[in-house]
Structure 1
Amino acid sequence: MGSNLLASLNDLGLGFLGYLVPFLFVLTIVVFFHELGHYLIAKANGIKVLTFSVGFGPEIVGFNDRSGTRWKLAAIPLGGYVKFFGDENAASVPDQNAIAGLTESERKVSFPGQSVGARAAVVAAGPLANFVLAIVIFAGIFMLHGKQTTTARVDSIQAGSAAESAGFVTGDVVRSIDGRRIESFAEMQRIVSGAAGQTLKVEVDRGGTPVTLQVVPTLKEMKDNFGNVHRLGVLGITRSMSPGDLKTESVGPIAAVRMGAEETWFIVERTLSYIGGIVVGKESADQLGGPIRIAQVSGQVATAGFVALLHLAAVLSVSIGLLNLFPVPLLDGGHLLFYAIEAARGRPLSERAQEVGFRIGFALVIMLMIFATFNDILHLAAS
């Protein structure tokens, strides 16, 4: 259905909507649940919520609920915010002058008037909501489609490949990598793709006999079905497609949630590994993308169907949740850093120190957005 809609839009000369509509759908879901996490824990702590906004800038449409919260959709769909009573702005910077003039009853429902633990819980709830959303989406997909696996059996080996150098032979079944149990070819690919240049200890079953091999995956540029280039570690082997090696198992709710959590953790691991690689110079930062890249990928994935678009929303939700936990002032992680310092000192940082921190954080976020957008433009130019 999704691909037919996009094809119709293209036929009408409105191909850009094929990117815009999926982009807005994916980002709105992720942002809404992030802010909902903040909102729910704030309400649970008795904090008055002034505004719940999806997007920034001028309001497009909105309404006030019975508690006085203004729920609105804003014009710039690149984020959102929840503004609490006692905040100076949407970044939850406290309004010191206003706080000084609050009555005792008003202070009890203000965000700055809460304990450091309560404030930390409200802030952490946003990223945690993103992780929960991802787990739920992944679990739903597993329950809907089941677990499809292919045995990690070597069907063929490329000449001159890493696998040939390591001593793999046709028919080998990979059982573990660096002590981690391998249950499918896809699981093996995941580990190998992020381990280019690293020595992996691989245990294989060779006709019933366990054999240990040492292999170093080769870094290779590969194109996906949409023409996007990815740099991945490869062994140079193909999987067996014989009927006995292809399996589809139904997945119950409990197992689906467990698998959804494992999928979420895998994305966290890969993201942190990639960022660490950038820091030490082992990875290139040109894979970092911004709104343009997200819009492009959303449009491409939407042509594969609604489930694929939901999968992208889950991946993006994990990424946004993790990004917000980085200890950068202005992000949720920056607030948590300030609260940790406050808990250790027994009093908050000075207003001046917090102001400087937020300015530095703002500058870092803007620079990251500019860099990511620049990467997006280069990516479009090369495609």
Structure 2
Amino acid sequence: MNTFLAVIVIFGLLVFIHEWGHLVFAKRAGILCREFAIGFGPKLFSFVRNETTYTIRLLPLGGFVRMAGEDPELVQIKPGYDIGLTFTEEGKVKQLIINNKSKHPDCKVIQVEKIDMERELIVKGYTEDSDELVTYELDRQAVYLYDEKSTQIAPYDRQFASKSIGQRALAIFAGPFMNFVLAVVVLILYAAIAGLPVNESLVGGVTDDGPAVEAGLESGDRIEAIDGEEVSTWEEMTEVIQARPNESMEFDISRDGEAFSVTMTADEREIPEADNIGVIGVMAPTEKTLTGILAFGFTQTYEYTVLIVEALGMLVTGQFSLDALAGPVGIYNYTGEVAAMGILVLFQWAAILSVNLGIINLLPLPALDGGRLLFIGLEAVRGKPIDPQKEGMVHFIGFALLMLLVLAVTWNDINRIFL
């Protein structure tokens, strides 16, 4: 598979699932989600559905869900502004036209005296032909137009901050959690296709070349003994063969109730930074059971999680060097190598990356989901939220430091791969 295509598909899936988790649970809590984006930078494609703008952006390095109340509104309407209003059949304001009012000749123009688009949902002002102060009620789904771009207002009860601690925490936690779910699903698919290893001294298959195919071994053959040494498990069999490269061995085989013997000399395979091993060109036996396949998805995800957490612990304690980390360039390179090994290996790699993304995002660091959960936890302990401006500044600084780390790791990738 083409490396670029593999990277786009895998990263697109990981980011989509992560952000989809945020989106679903935010919407369940009643939060207005203004945008669901895959990538950063300029928009390449977008459409609107159920209050949310779905966008694909130029740089495929992540994504985001923009929830109402997390960022200040880009357009603020202040007293003294002249704006245009259009109305629903019930007489409520459905559009607030900030500029280009000439393109909306049917709108009613007023000079704003007071406007509240969050709690009271009203706009007060003076019309062009009257000095009387008039109050208009805003529809809960009213929009304001600026340069003909439509943005839905966000009543306070539709904003992130208005929700309970549990609802907000769940909306944040759902992103990383969905990465673990994705890993389980991908590994279940892997097991369903490849099967599960069986620890028996059976020939699951033979390679196109090698001692086994030359000796006439077939899938389903059972290796009973090697040079008179009985073997019953795959580990026992491979241990004997690997320990004797370039040595002739006699294999006692049973096939369909018949016994026979063959002599094979194990080929020698080089192992980096280890002793070479012997191989005869046979593949491990596998089986496919529903319970085994389902269990494999969960147990393998758990094992990947433990390995990654242990590696992070070694990084913190200094047992791991930052030079060992891989950034976007390194992951791109590794993905190309994995893609060349086949779709099944790519499945495993995608699962590892998904678990890794979930764990990294749960770290209690600013700008990550774990950092946001930390602030929600502090609010639960204190009984009141942290000042939004202070929290925003912490996340901004954290994001800047995170980008510096990414740049440093990327430079290491370039040195390691290309220089």
Give the aligned partner of residue 267 of structure 2.
none
1:59 aligns with 2:47: no
- 3-state SS of paired residue (2:286): strand
The number of residues matched between the two structures is 290
Deviations 1:87-115 (A, max 9, x none): 217xxxx99x99x8512761222112111
Name the CA distance, whole Å, in 2 between partners of 1:327 and 1:172.
Answer: 53
Q: Deviations over 1:115-137 (max 9, x none)?
A: 11100000000000000000000
1:141 alignment partner in structure 2: 190
SS at match of 1:54: strand
**Secondary structure of 1:141's partner?**
helix
Which whole-Å CA distance do the structure 2 matches of 1:119 and 1:340 have between them? 11
Match of 2:285 among 247, 253, 275: 247
Alignment of 1:159-308 (within 5 A): 246-252=284-290, 254-308=291-345
1:117 matched to 2:171:
no
Distance 1:287 1:240, change over 3 A: same
What is the CA–CA distance in structure 2 between the aligned matches of 1:151 and 1:283, rounded to whole Å? 37
Segments of 4+ moved more than 6 angstroms: 239-243
Take 1:114 and 1:184, find their aligned partners in 2: how far apart are those partners?
A: 55
Tell me the secondary structure at the aligned position of residue 268 of structure 1. Answer: helix
> Are residue 69 (structure 1) and residue 52 (structure 2) matched?
yes
Question: Shift of the alpha carbon at 1:260?
Answer: 1.1
For structure 2, list consecutive stretches of 5 or more residues without a partner in the other structure. Answer: 78-115, 121-139, 141-154, 202-228, 240-270
Given that 1:61 and 1:73 are in contact with CA atoms closer than 8 Å, whether structure 2 keeps it comes out as yes
> Contact conserved, 1:135 with 1:264, CA < 8 A, in 2?
yes
SS at match of 2:11: helix
How far, CA to CA, are the matches of 2:394 and 2:18 in structure 1? 23
SS at match of 1:112: helix
Q: CA deviation at 1:184?
A: 6.2
Is 2:359 the partner of 1:376?
A: no
Structure label with greater radius of gyration: 2
Task: Give distance in 2, aligned partners of 1:256 and 1:361.
Answer: 41
Matched, 1:24 2:40: no
What corresponds to 1:358 in structure 2?
A: 395
Other structure's SS at 1:22 match: helix
Residue 68 of structure 1: CA displacement?
2.0
Q: Give me the whole-angstrom Cα distance separating, in 2, the residues matched to 1:350 and 1:365.
A: 22
Contact 1:42 1:122 in 2 (8 A): yes
Deviations 1:51-94 (A, max 9, x none): 010000111011111x12111110000000011122217xxxx9
1:350 deviation in Å?
A: 1.9
Query: Partners of 2:166 and 2:186 in 1: how far apart?
Result: 30
Amino acid at match of 2:68: F
Q: Distance in 1 between matches of 2:278 and 2:383?
A: 59
- Going by fraction, where is strand more abundant, 1 or 2? 2
Match of 1:128 in 2: 177
SS at match of 2:40: strand
Matches of 1:42 and 1:286, distance apart in 2 = 38
Partners of 1:241 and 1:296 lie apart in 2 by 31
Give the match for residue 69 of structure 2.
86
- C-alpha distance in 2 between matches for 1:376 and 1:363: 20
> Are 2:32 and 2:68, in contact at CA under 8 Å, matched by a contact in 1?
yes
In structure 2, the partner of 1:49 is: 33
1:37 touches 1:125 (CA, 8 Å); kept in 2? yes
Distance 1:241 1:125, change over 3 A: farther
Deviations along 1:305-348, one digit per CA (max 9) or x if unpaired, are 33332322221111111100000111000000000000011101
The DSSP-based 3-state class of the residue aligned with 1:354 is: helix
Structure 1 residue matching 2:175: 3-state secondary structure: helix
State the one-letter code of the partner of 2:334.
V
Cα 1:249–1:49, aligned 2, differ >3 Å: closer, same or farther?
same
2:368 paired residue number: 331
The letter of the residue matching 1:305 is G
Q: CA deviation at 1:304?
A: 2.4
- CA separation in 1, counterparts of 2:387 and 2:187? 43
Segments of 5+ residues of structure 1 without an aligned counterpart are 3-17, 153-170, 176-182, 189-221, 224-230
Distance apart, 1:256 and its partner CA: 2.1
Return the offset for 1:149: 4.5
Encode CA deviations 1:253-307: one digit per residue, 9 max, x unaligned: x432321111112111111211211222222322211111111122222222333
Q: Which has the higher contact order (CA 8 A, sep 6+)?
A: 1
Shift of 1:352: 4.1
**Which residue identity is paired with 1:304?**
M
Change (3 A) 1:87 1:279: closer
Say if 1:34 and 1:373 are closer, same or farther in 2 by CA, change over 3 A: same
Measured in 1, the distance between the counterparts of 2:335 and 2:341 equals 10
Change (3 A) 1:365 1:172: farther
**How far did residue 147 of structure 1 move?**
0.5
Partner Cα distance (2:160, 2:302) in 1? 31
CA distance in structure 1 between the partners assigned to 2:326 and 2:393 by the alignment: 28
2:162 and 2:337 map into 1 onto residues whose CA distance is 47
Percent sequence identity is 31
Alpha-carbon separation, structure 2, partners of 1:352 and 1:48: 21
1:19 deviates by 2.7
